[in-house]
């Protein structure tokens, strides 16, 4: 069993490949999480404009990306755009797809956070002489982020897990490297190893989330 | 030919679309089958785990928490690949369809258990005590008093999570499942034209957009009481 699924010799041989994949997964996450947050912030700030000409297109935009599978979006960019003469490469496609997809999710979360801050806070801030942008940046957003922190973290976990889609468009992240190693060694060991790496990295985050969610629940009671 | 005509001829080529429409439609059927199986088995298994957890048997609960954490930490695509390429070495060879079903079913089970469990624990102790004092047993209290209230609370987070995981059926294309994306991708490489991909994308929107809109409505209807 160990011989097949966690062969020590194979692990020793492929360790450098897996490590390179890990570095790329970390790098990819460090790029796509801030990009998604930026997209989300834009969505959430636009949502504070209550004009119907902003509201409806924005809602359609968010719902579209909630309905559209991220892998399909990624393949559409990677395999579709070259037909329009635009060849972006796997890494750029992942970045754009994540900006659009996770931006919609982060946007929904941040919007709920902003909604959770009482209007009185904004009125008080404005009455002290802060302009709208200052009130949003210094008063509303910090409280909004605090209120939805568990959801933000949970979405960030999903985004990090989603970077494994990069393997489909040849971005050499963990899963891609594992599949390369698997086809070289004809053994499931690389994939088992990479699953363990993912688990060890993300487990603490899942535990933390579980605890935050329970605390949120307890305070609601 | 103007730029616009060339664009339409490339991305919305009527001849290519007509030729591959049956393929895309058969992909839609596979996607729906897969989605229904995942949702049904994932939610049922999640509910079953949450009910077992309510029995409060220590070692069993540790096991449940570990399983839930495991499937919340692993990326779904990694689980699919692990089942599809890993199990054959143990003498089992599940098809791509079955691998995707099992993998996403397990992921949904994990998230559903967390949500159901959160719902159950959010019911005040007094409800339990009142129900037990009227002579209801533990099982009766759980099923007739606690669960109906808990389920109501779980509906909004559950619908969101279920949609997000069901969209993952597209991942099946990596292990050669002939669902929408798989059909569209092979049609693109056969026809050297991106129109099938546009059709496939449209199919996803037609399938999932009504669900997302319905979820938005459900969210406001069953919102957490504050």
Which CATH number belongs to the domain containing residue B141 in this structure?
A: 1.10.3720.10
Chain A residues within 8 A of B194 when measuring between CB atoms: 79-80, 83
Contact A66 B212 (CB under 8 A): yes
Give the residue on B whose Cα is nearest the Cα of A73: B201
Our CA-based measurement puts residue A130 at a distance from the nearest CA of chain B, in whole angstroms, of 30
Listed as own residue / partner, the contacts of B51-59 with beta carbons closer than 8 Å and 24 or more positions apart are B51/B142, B53/B113, B53/B117, B54/B117, B54/B120, B54/B142
Which CATH number belongs to the domain containing residue A121 in this structure?
A: 1.10.3720.10
- Residue B11 inside a domain? The answer is no
Chain A residues within 8 A of B216 when measuring between CB atoms: 63
Given pLDDT bands bounded at 50, 70 and 90, which one contains residue B205? very high
Check residue A48 and report its DSSP letter.
Answer: T
Q: Say if residue A151's pLDDT is above 60.
A: yes
What is the model's pLDDT at position A213? 77
Tell me the pLDDT of chain B averaged across its residues.
91
Interface confidence (ipTM) of the complex: 0.90
| Count of alpha carbons within 13 angstroms of residue B222, beta-carbon side | 19
| H/E stretch holding A151 | helix A149-162
In tens, the pLDDT along A54-108 reads 989 999 999 999 899 999 999 999 999 998 888 888 999 999 999 999 999 999 9
- Residue B128 inside a domain? The answer is yes
Domain count, chain A: 1
Contact A195 B79 (CB under 8 A): yes
Our CA-based measurement puts residue A66 at a distance from the nearest CA of chain B, in whole angstroms, of 7
In DSSP notation, A125-145 reads: HHHTT--HHHIIIIIIHHHHH
Task: Say which residues have a Cβ less than 8 Å from residue A6's Cβ, sequence separation at least 6.
Answer: A189, A192, A193
Chain B residues within 8 A of A70 when measuring between CB atoms: 167
Place of tokens 């390179």: A20
- Residue B5 inside a domain? The answer is no
- Residue B8 inside a domain? The answer is no
Domain count, chain B: 1
CB atoms within 10 A of CB A141: 18
CB nearest to B205's CB, from A64, A168, A207: A64
Contact B181 A72 (CB under 8 A): yes
What range defines the domain where residue B216 resides?
20-221
Q: Say if residue B190's pLDDT is above 60.
A: yes
Give helix B14-54 / helix B180-191 axis angle, nearest 10°. Answer: 150
b vs e for B109-144, b when ≥16 Cβ sit within 10 Å of the residue's Cβ? bbbbbbbbbbbbbbbeeeebeebeeeebeeeebbee
In angstroms, what CA-CA distances link A182 with A177, B81, B86?
8, 11, 10
Contact B204 A198 (CB under 8 A): no
């Amino acid at each position: 069993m160990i011989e097949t699924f966690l062969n020590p010799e194979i692990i020793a041989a492929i360790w450098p490949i897996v490590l390179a994949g890990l570095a790329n997964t970390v790098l990819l996450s460090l790029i796509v999480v801030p990009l998604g947050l930026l997209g989300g912030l834009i969505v959430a700030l636009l949502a504070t404009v209550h004009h119907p000409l902003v509201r409806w297109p924005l809602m359609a935009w968010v719902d579209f990306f909630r309905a559209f599978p991220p892998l399909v979006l990624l393949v559409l960019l990677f395999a579709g755009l070259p037909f329009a003469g635009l060849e972006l490469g796997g890494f750029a496609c992942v970045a754009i797809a994540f900006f659009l997809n996770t931006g919609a999710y982060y946007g929904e979360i941040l919007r709920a956070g902003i909604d959770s801050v009482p209007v009185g806070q904004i009125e008080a801030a404005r009455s002290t002489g802060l302009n709208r942008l200052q009130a949003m940046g210094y008063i509303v957003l910090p409280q909004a982020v605090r209120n939805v922190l568990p959801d933000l973290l949970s979405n960030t976990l999903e985004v990090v897990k989603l970077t494994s889609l990069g393997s489909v468009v040849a971005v050499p992240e963990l899963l891609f490297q594992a599949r390369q190693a698997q086809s070289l060694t004809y053994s499931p060991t690389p994939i088992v190893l990479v699953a363990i790496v993912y688990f060890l990295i993300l487990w603490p985050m899942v535990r933390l989330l579980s605890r935050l969610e329970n605390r949120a629940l307890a305070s609601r009671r | 030919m103007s730029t616009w005509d060339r664009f339409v001829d490339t991305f919305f080529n009527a001849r290519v679309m007509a030729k591959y429409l049956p393929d895309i439609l058969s992909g839609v059927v596979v996607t729906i089958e897969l989605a229904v199986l995942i949702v049904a088995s994932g939610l049922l298994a999640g509910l079953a785990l949450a009910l077992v957890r309510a029995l409060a048997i220590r070692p069993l609960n540790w096991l449940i928490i570990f399983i839930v954490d495991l499937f919340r930490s692993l990326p779904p695509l990694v689980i699919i690949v692990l089942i599809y390429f890993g199990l054959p070495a143990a003498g089992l060879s599940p098809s791509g369809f079955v691998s995707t079903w099992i993998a996403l079913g397990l992921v949904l089970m994990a998230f559903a258990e967390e949500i159901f469990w959160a719902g159950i624990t959010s019911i005040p102790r007094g409800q339990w005590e009142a129900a037990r004092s009227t002579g209801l047993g533990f099982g009766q209290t759980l099923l007739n008093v606690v669960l109906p209230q808990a389920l109501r609370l779980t509906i909004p987070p559950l619908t969101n999570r279920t949609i997000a995981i069901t969209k993952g059926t597209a991942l099946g294309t990596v292990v050669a499942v002939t669902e929408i994306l798989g059909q569209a991708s092979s049609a693109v490489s056969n026809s050297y034209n991106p129109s099938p991909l546009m059709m496939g994308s449209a199919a996803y929107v037609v399938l999932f957009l009504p669900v997302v809109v319905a979820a938005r409505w459900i969210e406001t209807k069953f919102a957490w009481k504050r």
